[in-house]
Structure 1
Amino acid sequence: MNNNAQLNDQDIMDDLLTMEKQIISAYNTGITESSCQNLRQTLTSNLLETHQLQYTIFDTMKKKGWYQTKDAQDQDVNNAKNKYSNIKNQL
Structure 2
Amino acid sequence: MNQQKPFGDREMMEDVLSSQKFVTEGYNTFANECASPAVMSELMNILNEEHQIQHEVFDEMVKRGWYQTEPAPQKKIDQCKQQHAQG
What is the TM-score of this pair, normalised by structure 2?
A: 0.90
1:8 corresponding residue in structure 2: 8
2:23 corresponding residue in structure 1: 23
Q: Which amino acid aligns with 1:72?
A: A
- Deviating above 6 A after TM superposition, structure 1's stretches of 4 or more consecutive aligned residues are none
Identical pairs, percent: 31
CA-atom RMSD, angstroms?
1.4
* Pairwise CA distance, 1:51: 0.8
What is the TM-score of this pair, normalised by structure 1?
A: 0.86
How far apart are the structure 1 equivalents of 2:42 and 2:6?
Answer: 36
Q: Which amino acid aligns with 1:28?
A: N
Corresponding residue pairs, total: 85
Structure 1 unaligned blocks of 5 or more: none
How far apart are the structure 1 equivalents of 2:18 and 2:61?
Answer: 12
How far apart are the structure 1 equivalents of 2:82 and 2:45?
Answer: 30
Deviations 1:35-88 (Å, cap 9, x if unpaired)?
Answer: 0111100000001111111000001101111001001122211111111222x2
Structure 2 unaligned blocks of 5 or more: none
- Structure 2 residue matching 1:13: 3-state secondary structure: helix
How far apart are the structure 1 equivalents of 2:85 and 2:6?
Answer: 47
1:38 corresponding residue in structure 2: 38
1:59 corresponding residue in structure 2: 59
How far apart are the structure 1 equivalents of 2:4 and 2:79?
Answer: 50
